[in-house]
A and B are shown apart, each in its own frame.
Chain A
Amino acid sequence: MRHVYRFFIYLFLTVMGLIMFLPFLWMFLSAFKTSAEVTASPPVWIPSSFSLINFQLAFEKAPFLRYFINSVVVMISSVLVTTVTSILAAFAFSRLRFPGRQTLFSMLLSMMMIPFEMLIITNYTTVIDLGIYDTIWALILPFTSSIFYTYILKNFFDTVPESLYWSARIDGASNWHYLWRVMVPMARPSLTTVILLNALASWNSFMWPMYVIIKDTNRTLPWGLQVFTTEAGSNPEQQMAASTVVVLPMIILFLFARKYIVGGVARGGLKG
């Protein structure tokens, strides 16, 4: 009985896994197909050759390399700055004693409930007032801090015994030294989670770039892809090649780091 039960569980998981995986596989394979193969009926699964011509054509029609570089620059800057500000804020809320600490933190947490879409208008006017509309700064500056990541890190910092802190202080370490030499290295699993989640969110960010970026050369990949699909509507195989370029880095990253993402969020005591 138990084996039968297990068999169906695994069967179910396999089928569901395939259903999830198939569109990606289709996208990946179609990126190599000829335009006849991609529209053939009945559908052709395996392309006749793995030529990179579709990638080349897509890259000629739209500056995907530029989009890619923009995406990478935005992601790295945003992740770097957000991580640092989150670490500092988490340390302050976890370890330092100052009046209003609890109240302030509760206020920040309650702000997490406001969806980003609601902030778009205010952020939009701010970006215009700052004069960074339609520049890459408009994609970076609004994403230099995060309550959610601060919260995950604070939860981890709270688990570090107080004696470690006092031991370090007695041994001559300042708060700053203690934070970077002891706390941060110990928090590596949680930090990895924060960095990965942040990188994913930044990479996939679509709506915000759509609002604040007009110039072609300032677009990031998802926004550029959207424009490209409308413009190159007649060439699905080139769209698939472009989509592969957008999605693949994150899939690879996720495959390598998924145990950190799951583990870190669980450790942080919160569902993503």
Chain B
Amino acid sequence: MRVRLDHVTKRFGSFTAVEDFNATLEDGELVCLLGPSGCGKSTLLNMLSGILPLTEGKIWFDKDDVTKVPPEKRGVGLVFQNYALYPHLTVQDNICFPLETQRVPKKDRIEQAQEIAKLVHVDMLMHRRPGELSGGQQQRVAIARALIKNPRLLLLDEPLSNLDARLRLEMREEIRRIQQRTKVTAVFVTHDQEEALAISDRIILMKNGITQQNDLPQALYDNPANQFVASFLGNPPINYIPGRMQDGAFLADGAAEPIRMPIFHGVPDGKKVVLAVRSEAFTTEENGPIPAEVSRVYTMGKEEMAWLQIGDIEFRAYIDNEEGLVPGKQIRLNVRRRGVFVFDPESGERLA
């Protein structure tokens, strides 16, 4: 099902949780709503499910305007962060619950529950109660319950954040697999960039209720719309080198040589800018334009991660092992084309 959000706005008193949100989710797509806590992503999910009414705007499921449709009539499945399983019911009864409210005959209910339980691998736990299951199993049951009524839209509200690190990796692959098997349109809310990059077809990055960028995961990383997007994605976080433009080149504060790159064309001369460089975009070069001092080195196998210092600014870079970095060594750096951006230090706007 295709979902369209049209100028969706939510205010709580004078506080605006979501402002003028516009997006279309294509049929069968898994879209991540990503952002720091308080960015409005869960509010948006609750509006999609019908739990929260909209202040302004409209939500369309295919050709139906569902803005005013109550949650029980929207045909969505929702997986909560705490799973929200009914503790007094068995796994089977939990999974059957949505069918029970639709008055599906008991025999059919159990049959369908078996089928969906197989898909999420809980078919051998049908007669246990939620309290007897591990976190990952509870999660699977919650997904089964959300899927059994063939929802038009599957909503997942931070479904992995209550799991330990290893299970989280496993379950996110599982969610992806199940979503691709069922081809259900899905919205996944998370604050974890790695999760979002790994799982989604598309990511909508939000901050303070405002969409920052709506793009393919790789595009968000390779081509951030503004400084917030560049900061939010990437581990270790992107490095910033303040400086200014001079003769079409970037001159870092305190650096001797300017950096020349074709991407700088069009950035006005003399402007104060900040050069954003991903850790993997640095190269060492004998006469490179950036002088830096090595302060710490971490060996990571095929490469080394070094803490470097340019003047007072400390940053992290992946450097090829051959160089033999030792703390205190003076080196010269250059940057690669990929993973280098120029932002306006005041507005955070992308300049190049």
A interface with B by C-beta (< 8 Å): 161, 163-164, 166-174, 177, 181-182, 185-186, 188
Contacts and interface: CB of A to CB of B under 8 A. Distances in A.
Interface of B: 49-51, 70-72, 74, 76-78, 80-82, 84, 86-89, 97-98, 100-102, 145, 149
Contacts of A164: 84, 86
B80 A167 contact: yes
Contact of B149 (A163, A168, A171, A181): A171
A149 B58 CA distance: 44
Given A163-B80, A166-B78, A167-B80, A173 B72 contact: yes
A185 B87 CA distance: 10
B51 A166 contact: yes
22 contacts: A161-B82, A163-B82, A164-B84, A166-B49, A166-B51, A166-B78, A168-B86, A168-B97, A170-B49, A170-B50, A170-B77, A171-B97, A171-B145, A172-B102, A173-B101, A177-B101, A181-B97, A181-B100, A185-B88, A185-B89, A186-B86, A186-B88
A109 B152 CA distance: 45
Contacts of A166: 49, 51, 71, 78, 80, 84
Given A161-B84, A172-B72, A182-B86, A167 B78 contact: yes
Given A161-B84, A186-B87, 11 more contacts: A163-B80, A163-B84, A166-B49, A166-B51, A166-B71, A170-B76, A170-B78, A173-B72, A177-B101, A181-B100, A185-B89
Nearest to B51: A166
Contacts of A168: 86, 97
Contacts of B149: 171-172
Contacts of B84: 161, 163-164, 166-167
Contact of B72 (A161, A170, A181, A188): A170
A172 B100 CA distance: 9
A163 B86 CA distance: 10
Contacts of A188: 88
Chain B interface secondary structure, helix, strand, loop or mixed?
Answer: loop
A186 B88 CA distance: 6
A172 B101 contact: yes
Contacts of B74: 170
A166 B46 CA distance: 10
Given A185-B88, A186-B87, A186-B88, A169 B72 contact: yes
Nearest to A164: B84
A164 B78 CA distance: 11
Nearest to B81: A163
A174 B87 contact: no
Contacts of A171: 72, 97-98, 101, 145, 149
Contacts of B80: 163, 166-167
B145 to A, nearest CB: 7
Nearest to B82: A163
Contacts of A172: 72, 98, 101-102, 149
A174 B72 contact: yes
B151 to A, nearest CB: 9
A69 B178 CA distance: 61
A133 to B, nearest CB: 44
- 5 interchain residue pairs of minimum CB distance: A172-B101, A171-B98, A163-B84, A167-B84, A163-B80
A169 B78 CA distance: 10
Contact of B71 (A161, A169, A181, A186): A169
Contacts of B86: 164, 168, 182, 186
A205 B174 CA distance: 61
Nearest to B78: A170
A171 B72 CA distance: 6
Given A161-B82, A163-B80, A170 B71 contact: yes
A188 B77 CA distance: 28
B157 to A, nearest CB: 9
A7 B118 CA distance: 59
Contacts of B81: 163
Nearest to A168: B97
Contacts of B88: 182, 185-186, 188
Contacts of B101: 171-174, 177
Contacts of A169: 51, 70-72
Nearest to A186: B88
A161 B49 CA distance: 18
A256 to B, nearest CB: 22
